[in-house]
Amino acid sequence: EAGVAQSPRYKIIEKRQSVAFWCNPISGHATLYWYQQILGQGPKLLIQFQNNGVVDDSQLPKDRFSAERLKGVDSTLKIQPAKLEDSAVYLCASSLSPTGGVTDTQYFGPGTRLTVL
Partner 1 sequence: AQSVTQLGSHVSVSEGALVLLRCNYSSSVPPYLFWYVQYPNQGLQLLLKYTTGATLVKGINGFEAEFKKSETSFHLTKPSAHMSDAAEYFCAVSSGGSYIPTFGRGTSLIVHP
Backbone angles phi, psi at 71, to 5 degrees: 55, 25
- By CB under 8 A, name the one of 42, 70, 71, 84 that touches partner 1: 42
- Straight-line distance from the first to the last Cα atom of the chain, in angstroms, rounded to the nearest whole number: 37
Alpha-carbon distance 36 to 110, whole Å? 12
The reply to whether 81 sits near partner 1 by the rule CB under 8 A is no
- By CB under 8 A, name the one of 48, 86, 88, 114 that touches partner 1: 48
- By CB under 8 A, name the one of 19, 43, 46, 65 that touches partner 1: 43
The reply to whether 104 sits near partner 1 by the rule CB under 8 A is yes
- By CB under 8 A, name the one of 19, 88, 93, 116 that touches partner 1: 93
Helix boundaries (H) for the chain: none
The reply to whether 27 sits near partner 1 by the rule CB under 8 A is no
| Count of residues making up the chain | 117
The reply to whether 28 sits near partner 1 by the rule CB under 8 A is no
Q: Are strands 112-116 and 10-13 parallel, antiparallel or unpaired?
A: parallel
Alpha-carbon distance 52 to 87, whole Å? 27
The footprint of partner 1 (CB under 8 A) covers 3-4, 9, 33, 40-45, 48, 56, 91, 93, 100-111
